[in-house]
Amino acid sequence: MCITGKQYIGATQHFGLGGQTYAVNPATGEAMEPAFGGGTAADVDAACSLAAAAFNSYRATSLEQRALFLEEIAEGVLALGDTLIERVMAESGLLRGRVESERGRTVGQLRLFASLLRAGRFLGATFDTPLPDRLPLSRPDLRTQKIGLGPVAVFGASNFPLAFSVAGGDTAAALAAACPVVAKAHPSHLGTSELVAGVIQRAIASAGLPEGVFSLLIDDAANSVSTALVQHPAIQAVAFTGSRRIGLLLVSLASQRTVPIPVFAEMSGINPVFVLPAALEASCQRIAQGLIDSATVGAGQLCTKPGIAVGIAGKSFENFRAAAKAALEVKESATMLSSDIQRAYAQGIDHWKCDSGVDQIAMAGTEPSSSCAGRPALFATTAAHFLVTPHLLEEVFGPTTLLIECSDEKELIGIANHLDGQLTATLQMETADIGLARTLLPILEQKAGRILVNGFPTGVEVGYAMVHGGPFPATSDSRVTSVGAMAIDRFLRPVCYQNFPSELLPMALQDGNPLRIPRVVDGEIKLPEI
Interacting residues with its own copies between 396 and 455 (CB under 8 A)? 421, 431, 434, 437-438, 441-442, 445-446, 448-455
Q: How far apart are CA 251 and CA 160, in angstroms?
A: 21
Where helices occur in 457-512 by DSSP H, the ranges are none
Check binding of 120 to its own copies (CB under 8 A): no
Nearer to its own copies, 221 or 465 (CB): 465
Min CB(129)–its own copies separation in Å: 9
Residue from the set 271, 304, 476, 482 that interacts with its own copies by CB under 8 A: 476
What pairs with residue 373 in β-bridges? 335
Q: How far apart are CA 226 and CA 256, in angstroms?
A: 15
Kindly state the number of chain residues that form the binding site for its own copies, as judged by CB under 8 A.
83
Where helices occur in 303-408 by DSSP H, the ranges are 315-329, 339-353, 383-386
Task: Out of 102, 194, 266, 395, pick the active-site residue.
Answer: 266
Residue from the set 286, 388, 493, 514 that interacts with its own copies by CB under 8 A: 493
Check binding of 229 to its own copies (CB under 8 A): no
Min CB(506)–its own copies separation in Å: 9
Binding segment for its own copies (CB under 8 A), chosen from 14-22, 32-40, 114-122, 158-166, is 114-122
Check binding of 464 to its own copies (CB under 8 A): yes
Between residue 59 and residue 98, which ones bind its own copies under the rule CB under 8 A? 59-60
Q: Which long-range contacts (CB under 8 A, 24 or more apart) does 259-262 make?
A: 259/233, 261/235, 261/236, 261/237, 262/149, 262/237, 262/238, 262/477, 262/490
CA dihedral 496, 502, 506, 512 (to 10 degrees): 100
Residue from the set 279, 331, 469, 488 that interacts with its own copies by CB under 8 A: 469
Residue 30: count of CB within 10 angstroms of its CB = 12
Binding mask 5-44 for its own copies (x = CB under 8 A): ----------------------------------------
Q: Provide Rg for the chain, Cα atoms.
A: 25
- Look up residue 45 and give its amino acid: D
Burial status of residue 241 (CB atoms within 10 A of its CB: 0-12, 13-18, 19 or more)? buried
Residue from the set 25, 101, 223, 224 that interacts with its own copies by CB under 8 A: 101
Check binding of 286 to its own copies (CB under 8 A): no
Min CB(481)–its own copies separation in Å: 6
Binding segment for its own copies (CB under 8 A), chosen from 200-208, 316-324, 385-393, 489-497, is 489-497
Between residue 254 and residue 283, which ones bind its own copies under the rule CB under 8 A? 255, 259-260, 262
Q: How far apart are CA 254 and CA 301, in angstroms?
A: 27
Q: How far apart are CA 267 and CA 343, in angstroms?
A: 19
Burial status of residue 516 (CB atoms within 10 A of its CB: 0-12, 13-18, 19 or more)? middle
Residue 266 is a catalytic residue = yes
Nearer to its own copies, 97 or 208 (CB): 97
Residue from the set 224, 285, 472, 507 that interacts with its own copies by CB under 8 A: 472
Nearer to its own copies, 98 or 385 (CB): 98
Nearer to its own copies, 341 or 480 (CB): 480
Q: Is the peptide bond before 34 cis (omega within 30 degrees of 0)?
A: yes
Task: Out of 179, 303, 372, 406, pick the active-site residue.
Answer: 303
Min CB(369)–its own copies separation in Å: 31
Residue 444: count of CB within 10 angstroms of its CB = 21
Q: Burial letters for 368-396: b for 16+ Cβ neighbours within 10 Å, e otherwise?
A: bebebbbbbbbbbbbbeebbeeeebbebb
Nearer to its own copies, 49 or 101 (CB): 101
Q: Whose CA is closest to 222, among 16, 512, 14, 71?
A: 16
Between residue 121 and residue 160, which ones bind its own copies under the rule CB under 8 A? 121, 126-128, 136-137, 139-140, 142-144, 147, 149-150
Binding segment for its own copies (CB under 8 A), chosen from 34-42, 360-368, 400-408, 487-495, is 487-495
Min CB(351)–its own copies separation in Å: 21
Coil/strand/helix, residue 318: helix
Nearer to its own copies, 11 or 505 (CB): 505
Nearer to its own copies, 56 or 206 (CB): 56
Nearer to its own copies, 200 or 415 (CB): 415
Residue from the set 367, 503, 511, 529 that interacts with its own copies by CB under 8 A: 503
Nearer to its own copies, 369 or 499 (CB): 499
Contact (CB, 8 A) for 27 and 88: no
Nearer to its own copies, 143 or 305 (CB): 143
Residue 116: count of CB within 10 angstroms of its CB = 24
Q: What angle do CA 268, 269, 275 make, to 5 degrees?
A: 135
Min CB(107)–its own copies separation in Å: 14
Binding segment for its own copies (CB under 8 A), chosen from 13-21, 202-210, 302-310, 469-477, is 469-477
Between residue 323 and residue 342, which ones bind its own copies under the rule CB under 8 A? none
- Look up residue 393 and give its amino acid: L
Min CB(60)–its own copies separation in Å: 8
Residue 303 is a catalytic residue = yes
Check binding of 524 to its own copies (CB under 8 A): yes
In this structure, are strands 422-428 and 273-275 parallel, antiparallel, or unpaired? Answer: parallel
Q: Is the peptide bond before 210 cis (omega within 30 degrees of 0)?
A: no
Length of the chain: 530
Catalytically annotated residues: 266, 303
